[in-house]
Amino acid sequence: MRHSEIPLIPEPAGSILGKLAEASKGTSHLLLSLWLQPLNLRHSPAGNQTEAEMEDPKAQQDVSVWQGIRMMFYVMKPNETIFQTMEEVPDYVKKATPFFISLMLLELVVSWIQKGKLPGRLDDALTSVSAGVLSRLPSLFSRSIELTSYIYIWENYRLISLPWDSLWTWYLTFLGVDFGYYWFHRMAHEVNIMWAGHQTHHSSEDYNLSTALRQSVIQIYTSWIFYSPLALFIPPSVYAVHLQFNLLYQFWIHTEVINNLGPLELILNTPSHHRVHHGRNRYCIDKNYAGTLIIWDRIFGTFQAENEKIVYGLTHPINTFEPFKVQFHHLVYIWTAFWATPGCFNKFSVIFKGPGWGPGKPRLGLSEEIPEVTGKEVPFSSSTSQLLRMYAVVQFALMLVFYEETFADKDVLSQATLLLRVCFIILTLTSIGFLLDQRPKASVLETSRCLVFLMLCRLGHLKPFIPALSFAFEILFSICIAFWGVRSMKELVSGSWK
């Protein structure tokens, strides 16, 4: 049994929390007046935009640095984040990339100052970011199912239409999305087939900001169910904003450099609360499912405060950095267990009961079967040389540049080019995983990957971000082909593939 996620709360959401924190000062009347205050946004879907900005769709979607910082902590004001149509809603997650990187660098510096060491391991961080990259690739070809399903329900089955420009609607959606996330997250731990997706996020044995990016490819295909009731009355444009902010809020809580946040611990999901959720200690299992507000765990009996030292990861570590195993190993386990378990009802239970269930056991399994944590556990690490790790980082960085460029240009790229680029990205992630795991035939895979890169460049499907570097890339990858090709031949002759 083991446990996923990436979003403090907006000025309004932030102001809610600020006011709650000052409740002892008698601010309840202020809160009530905020809820009742009209927004007067009928002629300005983005709230405080000028007419020139209204006429320019791109201007509507600009996010300033200050807004970018605040969106990471859910402290955007309603009049900055209320839109009439889906087309006006910015892709906040896409715009968060530089803030993800900046916060990870800040965490690295703070951890070094606090503890004299880095917040995690390179191989684990590469695997986490790889999972994040994989999880976003499907969005190159289609809109998220969380949005398409929501829009379909809204257009065909809504009961009432709450006003898109109302503070009531904004705050209600904030609470509704967070409530839906709590129940999705809880079921993702209590239903085996849903856990098959969510376990990816929990497979890291480190706990740092890169862990937040370790997302599942398949999780989104069940999470939409828990938000769909909101489509009966909440406009899609309001929902789309809060869905993104709820995700972004969960990024910063994946860290060990922040300890206790005082009174905010009573209301918010914090790094301390979420560390418990990621622990594989028995007292941590299936606790603290919150997205933004920890109040849901307190209400529904799943809250657990942090006490003894936490060991992170799955209760049965998978010991690999290969991205497809990280994503899909539990699906393979379910498939095997399904056919090995006798009886139709038991087979059904393998899929829909808890990950720890077995015939004759309670729905969620037996807590005594969870391995004891001694505190002496050693995280699985790659035994590769420092030189090979540096090579992996360089290739990974180059892949990230093409990845970001692909998303930026997806509207002008042909479907064939998109597909070929996605295949190259997946091939790169797989090859790096093989190299870190020191898998047999890793050299052959890397040789093939470098050849594919040169072929795609020659055919025009991949282009260096700086055209003047084209020749340098050809030289670099030709050297890589020669190196890994020779190494492959040596391994073949020595029989190390067997």
| Cα separation, 246 vs 176, whole angstroms | 11
pLDDT higher than 90, residue 433: yes
pLDDT for 468:
84
pLDDT for 496:
65
Least confident piece of the model among 46-60, 264-278, 400-414: 46-60
| Cα separation, 21 vs 5, whole angstroms | 25
pLDDT higher than 70, residue 51: no
| Cα separation, 371 vs 276, whole angstroms | 16
pLDDT for 464:
83
Once rounded to an integer, what is the mean pLDDT over residues 44-60?
A: 42
pLDDT for 61:
61
| Cα separation, 167 vs 78, whole angstroms | 7
Residue 89 CB contacts under 8 Å (≥ 6 apart), including other chains: 83, 237, 240, 241
pLDDT higher than 70, residue 235: yes
pLDDT higher than 50, residue 245: yes
Exposed / middle / buried, residue 313 (Cβ in 10 Å: 0-12, 13-18, 19+): buried
pLDDT higher than 70, residue 23: no
pLDDT for 135:
96
Once rounded to an integer, what is the mean pLDDT over residues 414-419?
A: 95
pLDDT higher at 196 or 142: 196
Residue 199 CB contacts under 8 Å (≥ 6 apart), including other chains: 2, 3, 216, 314, 330, 355
pLDDT higher than 50, residue 401: yes
- Its pTM stands at 0.86
Instruction: Find, among 439, 438, 441, 451, the residue nearest to 482 by Cα.
Output: 451
Once rounded to an integer, what is the mean pLDDT over residues 121-134?
A: 97
Give the residues across from 293 on adjacent strands.
268
Q: pLDDT-based confidence at 17, cuts 50/70/90?
A: very low
Provide the percentage of residues in the chain whose pLDDT is more than 70: 87
